[in-house]
Amino acid sequence: MIDKSRHGLGPPAGRRPDHRVIRLAPPHLLALSLVILSAAGMALLLLPGMTTEGAGLGPLDAWFTAVSAVTVTGLAVADTGTAFTLAGQGVILALIQVGGLGIMVLGALTIIAAGGRLGLGHRLNLGESLGVTAVGDVLAMALRIGRMTLLIEAAGAVLLTAWWTPTMGLRQAAWNGLFHSVSAFNNAGFALWPDSLTRFAGDPVSNAVVVTLIVLGGIGFPVLHELASRTPPGRWSPHTRVMIFGSLALVGLGWAVIALLEWSNPATLGGLHDPVEKALAALFQSVTTRTAGFNTIDMGGLGTAAAFVVMVLMFIGAGPTSTGGGIKVSTAVIMLAATTAFLRRRDEVVLADRSLTLDTVRRALAIAVVGVGTVALGTFALVVAEPQADFLNASFEAVSAHATVGLSRGLTGELGTAGRIVLIVLMLAGRLGPLALGYALLTPRPTRISHPRADVLTG
């Protein structure tokens, strides 16, 4: 018999296991980590020397900023570049990095912990989508995520620093390059200028670097790992194919629609005189609505139709196991495939030459329905808390907060205490929701009662 206590596998010999130890399920651990990180961030931001003189940052403002950074959202009640000192900006940057990278890794842990209770078939499906086939691979995967994240962020920081140095000077360009590289890869949307990145609307290099960082951070680690392994397109996994082609379709559609609707709007694209600059700004906005939160045109100037398109793109969001939010591209694609199969009277839901399981379809449906319900409830609460708020702006802000995007039509800075608390709850729910729901749906609960079948009229 092996003495487990000698190998660190059990309690010391002669001692009973401590049953008072609190064991948290992954969703509870994730929620607790969000609360602790945001509370710590708030405390740090309230320390002397974190804000500039006259900034007037109160506890609620600090909490809002910390939650926005930890959930990598980007909504702000105080201008990051002018209200915070270099030390304060450093705290925000650290919260973004921990919130994006740490929660992404913890999200993988959540799904794997849920997968540990499934049968072999479901384990293989999870391994195919996550690139993990055993719980013991979690540490190795976390290390790969960390290395890849730091490498991509460092490359982005170097490129932005080199490009901005002639106009800003090396010191300022280096800090701006690092801050915006981390913010972009983590899809956080925090910028050090009050107009976000509108000054770079016609700058092809800045646009290219930031857009690349946003896409790499939002496409998801499993896809990044597969691409980094130089897997030929013909051998891509179904998940990678869904993410790449789904993302390209959404970006292309958003680009075309935003350009078409806003081309002559003097408050947005119409204010840019060069057609190439207009096209570049439309492309940037289509990409950044996928949870990044930067903008090179005024969001408040968008027409109603374009604002609706942006809300749809924000709601869909990025990819699973990524730094982005939303219900995820794969969820939206699965819903579309299931609807198409039903309309064509097909028994199977086929996607990427694979037949999807009923559990996969139901999981996508549940995530979408919960997402719609949360946004609807959040919009209602925001309108009740802020009766003077325009409905379009309130719903836009609610979607942006829940999808952890950070785009704003100017309402966030005008909100009172109740309105800010509503957005805080939406940001936390948006970051926590899909992972916690995924855990609940992936954990089987056997039922002992079978009910008779019945048909209920629909439509």
Separation of alpha carbons 362 and 329, rounded Å:
16
Mean pLDDT within 293-317:
95
Separation of alpha carbons 231 and 225, rounded Å:
9
Is position 15 within any domain?
no
Is position 457 within any domain?
no
Mean pLDDT within 236-241:
90
- Residue 420 belongs to domain spanning: 24-442
The answer for residues whose C-beta is within 8 angstroms of residue 440's C-beta and 6 or more apart is 27
> Looking at per-residue confidence, does 215 or 127 come out higher?
215
Neighbour tally for 119: CB within 10 Å: 9
φ, ψ dihedrals at 295, nearest 5°: -150, 145
**pLDDT of 10 above 50:** no
pLDDT value for 337:
94
Cβ atoms of residues 202 and 186 within 8 Å: no
Token pair listed for 193: 């200028």
Which tens digit of pLDDT belongs to each residue from 356-379? Answer: 999 889 889 988 998 999 999 999
Q: DSSP label at 190?
A: -
Is position 99 within any domain?
yes
Is position 321 within any domain?
yes
Amino acid letter at 39?
A
Separation of alpha carbons 344 and 54, rounded Å:
63
Amino acid letter at 418?
A
Separation of alpha carbons 182 and 150, rounded Å:
9
pLDDT value for 186:
93
**pLDDT of 158 above 80:** yes
Mean pLDDT within 74-78:
93
Burial 200-235 (b: 16+ CB within 10 A, else e): bbbbeebbebbbbbbbbbbbbbbbbbbeeeeeeeee
Token pair listed for 343: 């309309």
Cβ atoms of residues 12 and 5 within 8 Å: yes
pLDDT value for 31:
76
Separation of alpha carbons 204 and 196, rounded Å:
16
Pairing state between β 350-351 and 354-355? antiparallel
Write down the mean pLDDT value for the chain.
Answer: 84
pTM of structure: 0.86
Q: DSSP label at 299?
A: G
Cβ atoms of residues 234 and 161 within 8 Å: no
The tokens 């109740």 sit on which residue? 418
DSSP readout, 444-456?
Answer: ----S--PPP---
pLDDT value for 61:
95
Cβ atoms of residues 313 and 254 within 8 Å: yes
Q: Which helix (H) or strand (E) holds 395?
A: helix 391-402
**pLDDT of 127 above 60:** no
Is position 132 within any domain?
yes
Which tens digit of pLDDT belongs to each residue from 400-449? Answer: 999 999 999 999 989 999 999 999 999 998 887 655 655 555 555 666 77
E strands in 268-427: 350-351, 354-355
Would you call 386 exposed, middle or buried from its count of C-beta atoms within 10 A (0-12, 13-18, 19+)?
A: buried
pLDDT value for 109:
52
Separation of alpha carbons 238 and 85, rounded Å:
46
Neighbour tally for 245: CB within 10 Å: 14
Is position 350 within any domain?
yes
Separation of alpha carbons 87 and 54, rounded Å:
16
Separation of alpha carbons 459 and 457, rounded Å:
7
pLDDT value for 19:
44
**pLDDT of 450 above 80:** no
- Give the closest residue to 283 by CA, choosing from 304, 325, 313, 322: 313
Share above pLDDT 90 across residues of the chain, in percent, rounded to a whole number:
61
Helices 138-168 and 170-185, packing angle to 10 deg? 140
The answer for residues whose C-beta is within 8 angstroms of residue 100's C-beta and 6 or more apart is 72, 149, 185, 186, 187, 188, 217, 323
> Looking at per-residue confidence, does 131 or 294 come out higher?
294
Amino acid letter at 47?
L
The tokens 């995520």 sit on which residue? 145
Neighbour tally for 451: CB within 10 Å: 6
Is position 7 within any domain?
no
Is position 163 within any domain?
yes
Mean pLDDT within 340-365:
90
Alpha helix ranges (H) inside 20-137: 26-45, 59-70, 80-83, 86-97, 103-115, 120-130
Separation of alpha carbons 192 and 188, rounded Å:
12
The tokens 């790449």 sit on which residue? 244
Share above pLDDT 70 across residues of the chain, in percent, rounded to a whole number:
81
pLDDT value for 122:
38
Q: How confident is the model at residue 138 (pLDDT cuts 50, 70, 90)?
A: low
Amino acid letter at 445?
R
Alpha helix ranges (H) inside 132-203: 138-168, 170-185
pLDDT value for 226:
87
Structural domain total, the chain = 1
pLDDT value for 22:
46
Separation of alpha carbons 149 and 102, rounded Å:
11
Q: Round to the nearest angstrom and report the end-to-end CA distance of the chain.
A: 65
